[in-house]
């Protein structure tokens, strides 16, 4: 993807989000973001989209077997969690003291 038109997302690593679409849809259960992949517009969320990976025994993993791990989901399927309103919220960027700050549209709370 070209850097000229690289998209900007309002969700960052460590944020709390709510899954609003897909098999793990739950608008009331906040979950933590483990990693963001902006080039693919995907996000890794804790406890969502669990896949099983079959591994052979190797020098590093002598047992092998089946490992459960999270797989990325589309970033459009999550919404930032707003603790004040207790639900998901859209985000806007506001300039405060020369810095861009993320603000929840529902409650007006700044997001750290």
In this structure, is residue 93 part of a structural domain?
no
**% pLDDT > 90, the chain:** 81
In this structure, is residue 1 part of a structural domain?
no
In this structure, is residue 109 part of a structural domain?
no
- Report how many domains make up the chain: 1
Q: How far apart are CA 8 and CA 105, in angstroms?
A: 18
- pLDDT tens for 55-84 read 999 999 899 999 999 999 999 999 999 999
What number is the average pLDDT over the span 28-34? 95
Two structure tokens written together for 72 = 């990325």
- In the predicted model, what is the mean pLDDT of the chain? 92
CATH number of the domain enclosing 39: 2.30.30.30
Instruction: Give the long-range contacts of residues 104-111, CB within 8 A, separation 24 or more.
Output: 104/80, 106/82, 107/82, 109/82, 109/83, 109/84, 111/15, 111/80
Which residue range is the domain that position 48 belongs to?
16-83
- pLDDT tens for 41-50 read 999 999 999 9
What number is the average pLDDT over the span 7-24? 93
In this structure, is residue 68 part of a structural domain?
yes
Closest C-alpha to 43, from 63, 67, 19:
19
C-alpha Rg value of the chain to the nearest Å: 17
**Left, alpha or beta for 105 (phi > 0: left; psi -120 to 50: alpha)?**
alpha
pLDDT of residue 1 exceeding 80 = no
In this structure, is residue 107 part of a structural domain?
no
């Amino acid at each position: 993807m070209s850097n000229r038109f690289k998209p900007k997302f309002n969700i960052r690593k460590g944020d709390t989000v709510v899954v609003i679409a897909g098999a793990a849809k739950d608008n009331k259960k906040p979950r933590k973001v483990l990693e963001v992949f902006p080039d693919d517009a995907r996000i890794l969320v804790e406890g969502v989209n669990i896949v099983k990976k079959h591994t052979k025994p190797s020098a590093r993993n002598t047992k092998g077997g089946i490992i459960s791990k999270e797989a990325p989901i589309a970033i459009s399927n999550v919404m930032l969690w707003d603790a004040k309103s207790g639900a998901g919220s859209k985000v806007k960027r506001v300039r405060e003291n020369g810095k861009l700050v993320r603000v929840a549209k529902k409650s007006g709370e700044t997001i750290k």
